[in-house]
Chains A and B, each alone.
Chain A
Amino acid sequence: MSTLTAPARPATRRGPGRRTIRLRTYLAFLLLAGPNVALLLIFVYRPLLESLYLSTLQWNLGSPDARFIGLGNYVEWFTAPGTGTVLATTGVFTVATVGGSLVLGLALALLLNRRLRGRSAARTVVFAPYVLSGVAVGMLWLFMFDPRYGLVASGLGMLGLPSPQWYTTSPWALVMIIVVYLWKNLGYVALIYLAGLQAVPAELRQAAALDGASTVRTFRSIVLPLLAPTTFFLLVTTLLSSLQSFDIIQAMTQGGPLGSTTTLMYQIYQEGFVTGRAGYASAVATILFVLLLAVTVVQLRFVERKVHYA
Chain B
Amino acid sequence: MSLTRLDRPDATTPGSTARDALPPVVTGGAGDGPSDGAGAVAVRPARRRRARVPVGGYVTMIVATVVMALPLVWMALASLKRSDELYRIPLQWLPERFDLANYAQAAESIPIGQLFLNSAALTVAGASLKLLLGLCCAYALVFLDVPFRRTVFVVVIFALLIPQQITIIPNYTLVASLGWLNTYQGILVPGLASAFGTFLFRQHFLSLPLSILEAAQLDGAGHWRRLWRFVVPMSGPTIAAVGLVSVVGEWNEYLWPFLVIDDASKMTLPVGLTLLQSIDGMTNWGVLMAATVLVTLPILVVFLVLQRRLVAGLTAGAVTG
Residues of A within 8 A of B (CB): 3-4, 6, 8-9, 25-26, 28-29, 31-33, 35-37, 39-48, 50-51, 54, 61-62, 108, 110-116, 118-137, 139-144, 146, 148-149, 151, 154, 167, 183, 186-188, 191-192, 194-202, 205-206, 209-210, 215, 218-219, 223, 229-230, 232-233, 236-237, 240-241, 244, 246-247, 250-251, 265, 268-269, 272-273, 278, 281-282, 285-286, 288-289, 292-293, 296, 299-300, 303, 307-309
Contacts and interface: CB of A to CB of B under 8 A. Distances in A.
Contacts of A4: 212, 215-216, 219
Contacts of B25: 195, 198-199
Contact of A36 (B19, B193, B269, B285): B193
A244 B295 contact: no
B15 interface: yes
Interface in B1-44: 1-4, 6, 14-23, 25-33, 35-37, 39-40, 43
Q: 9 closest pairs, A vs B, by CB?
A: A47-B170, A237-B318, A39-B193, A229-B18, A47-B167, A33-B140, A32-B140, A36-B137, A50-B170
9 contacts: A36-B136, A120-B2, A131-B252, A133-B252, A135-B273, A137-B296, A191-B311, A195-B19, A244-B164
A118 B61 contact: yes
Nearest to B171: A47
B303 A128 contact: yes
A100 to B, nearest CB: 14
Given A32-B223, A61-B169, 9 more contacts: A35-B137, A40-B193, A45-B162, A127-B311, A139-B288, A143-B78, A144-B71, A151-B74, A292-B161
A244 B168 CA distance: 13
Contact of B89 (A62, A126, A148, A209): A148
Contacts, number: 367
B110 interface: no
A9 B220 contact: yes
Contacts of B61: 111-112, 116, 118-119, 122
A196 B169 contact: no
B192 interface: yes
B176 A62 contact: yes
Nearest to A195: B6
A232 B15 CA distance: 10
Contacts of B33: 114-116
Interface stretch (B97-105, B141-149, B234-242): B141-149
Interface string B196-238: 0010000000000000100110111111000101000000000
Contacts of B311: 127, 191
B277 interface: yes
Contacts of B6: 191, 194-195, 198
B292 A140 contact: yes
Interface in B86-139: 86-87, 89-91, 133-134, 136-137, 139
Contact of A140 (B72, B133, B254): B72
Given A43-B193, A115-B33, A188-B315, A206 B137 contact: no
A281 B169 contact: yes
B18 A122 contact: no
Interface of B: 1-4, 6, 14-23, 25-33, 35-37, 39-40, 43, 54, 57-58, 60-61, 64-65, 68-72, 74-75, 78, 86-87, 89-91, 133-134, 136-137, 139-141, 144-146, 149, 152, 155-156, 159, 161-174, 176, 189-195, 198, 212, 215-216, 218-223, 227, 229, 248, 251-252, 254-255, 258-259, 269-270, 273-274, 277, 282, 285, 288-289, 291-292, 295-296, 299-300, 302-304, 307, 310-311, 314-315, 318-319
A242 to B, nearest CB: 12
Nearest to B2: A120
Contact of B315 (A35, A50, A195): A195
Contacts of B273: 133, 135-136, 139, 251
Given A37-B156, A125-B65, A143-B78, A205 B71 contact: no
Contact of A154 (B22, B78, B91): B91
B2 A192 contact: no
A241 B319 CA distance: 9
Contact of A151 (B40, B70, B304): B70
Given A25-B145, A43-B167, A120-B1, A131 B68 contact: no
A139 B300 contact: no
Contacts of A307: 17-18, 20-21
Interface centre among A128, A215, A272, A278, by most chain B C-beta atoms within 10 angstroms, is A128
A123 to B, nearest CB: 4
Contacts of B70: 151
A131 B314 contact: yes
Interface centre among A40, A48, A241, A286, by most chain B C-beta atoms within 10 angstroms, is A40
B30 A285 contact: no
Contact of A40 (B65, B144, B195): B195
Contacts of A309: 21
Nearest to B211: A4
A57 to B, nearest CB: 11
